[in-house]
Amino acid sequence: MSRPVALVTGGSSGIGLGIARRLIERECHVVLSARGRDRLDQLVEELGVTGVAADVSTEEGRAALVAEVRRLGRLDWLVNNAGTGGGTAGLDVDVARARRVLEPNFYAHVGLTQELWPLLCESPQARVIVVSSSLGTYSSSGSITYGASKAALTSWGRALAVAAKPLGIEVTLVNPGPVVTTTFPHDELLAHRWKRRLVIDAERCAEDIMRTVDRGGGELWSHRLFRVPAIVQAIAPGTYDRFFV
């Protein structure tokens, strides 16, 4: 295939779909993955993409995606966007529940990237987008499990960017704040007179991501305000724990 190939996980809605639309505009052949077949079939017909119904948290799901990309013979964009919610307040969490969140939010990203890395290395201008969360950059007692999974992903994404640079592979790590998606509708924030200003839509987030990619990658807080708690915790952890956690 002569056209650039892009794989977008969690691509049937939200941030993933927003990125996929922009990659189509750049004349990429897009492979969309999602767990639900119905919505995926609609997008295949509407956008002319390749759809793969797969659960990236399973080895079987990742194998299906890898097989499809290998069939196409190249990979130029890997957009690791799939994930789940499942935030747990306090210590009300056990290993099984933690594993259910860590599988799609962290292990799936690592596994899929490892499997597809040889194809990315063959691309003349490979790009990887890792969609994490601002909750991966500071602690929150209201979302321990989700925050832990995103902290692992953010740390891994930062290390991946450093390791990939000498190979000519550009990595963009995304730490969104509140973005309206099907998983996170943020109804309570949107109903509040002032807090609603903290919320952005998925299209704006996708635009922010592509602008960062075009500038050479790096790390992005799509809503810049959410860099503040990360900075405060880094330089004054006691103060952060007292007033923010």
Residues designated catalytic: 146
| Alpha-carbon separation of residue 78 from 81, 108, 240 (angstroms) | 9, 13, 35
CB-based contact 134:175 (threshold 8 Å): yes
Give the SS3 label for residue 75.
coil
Written as six digits, the tokens of 28 are: 């990429």
As given in the structure block, the two tokens for residue 94 are 């056990």
CA distances from 210 to 22, 60, 130, 215 (A): 8, 30, 12, 9
Distance CA 238, CA 19 (A): 38
CA distance 237 to 217: 29
CB 198 within 8 A of CB 134: no
Q: Residue 135 in 3-state DSSP? A: helix
Q: Distance between CA 75 and CA 29 in Å, rounded?
A: 10
The amino acid at residue 46 is E
Largest CA distance in the chain: 56
